[in-house]
Homo-oligomer: A and B are copies of this chain.
Amino acid sequence: MGPSERDDREALASSVWQRMFELFQSRKDELLAISAEVGLTPAHMHALLALDPDAPKPMGSLAADWKCDASNVTFLADRLEEAGYVERRVSPTDRRVKILALTDAGHAARDRLRRRMSEPPDALLTLTVDQLAALDGVLAALRSDEGA
């Protein structure tokens, strides 16, 4: 590959990235609106979505997964518990450990939230099926090469 091809690629990648960035900006306000709608702050909404519905985990693991301090997990869990969306279960093998599990209400709220969040921006829906398929195909190719 010659230097000009590399330059082309970098310029195109920058352009693509900037366009995606703008798309995200356009969605920001709506995310805030969703959080107001469900009565959760953005941080608690994010935490609810980040809980694995099938595998309740110790709070310490969550702090590691979420790259935040344990005290922050306590804070997030407190509010979600008050809202009735999670419960703390003492680990049967180590009484120090508390496992955070979604309640039935928590599962339902999380599902609703996921559906709302995965709704694409209106701008994407103005594309044709072919254009969307092209986007999807190229973006799918990324995932396997991510670490390259």
Q: How large is the interface on A (under 10, 10 to 19, 20 to 34, 35 or more residues)?
A: 35 or more
Is A16 an interface position by the 8 A CB rule? yes
Q: Which of A12-43 contact B (CB under 8 A)?
A: 12-20, 22-24, 26, 29
> Main secondary structure on chain A at its contact with chain B?
helix
Is A134 an interface position by the 8 A CB rule? yes
Is A92 an interface position by the 8 A CB rule? no
CB atoms of A12 and B138 under 8 A apart: no
Is A94 an interface position by the 8 A CB rule? no
Is A72 an interface position by the 8 A CB rule? no
* A66, B89: Cα distance in complex, Å: 43
A125 proximity list for chain B (CB < 8 A): 9-10, 13
Contact partner, A139, options B19, B119, B129, Cβ 8 Å: B19
CB atoms of B23 and A142 under 8 A apart: yes
Residues of A near any B CB (own CB < 8 A): 5, 8-10, 12-20, 22-24, 26, 29, 67, 118-129, 131-136, 138-143, 145-146, 148
* 8 CB < 8 A contacts A-B: A13-B120, A20-B23, A20-B24, A29-B67, A123-B148, A126-B142, A127-B142, A134-B134
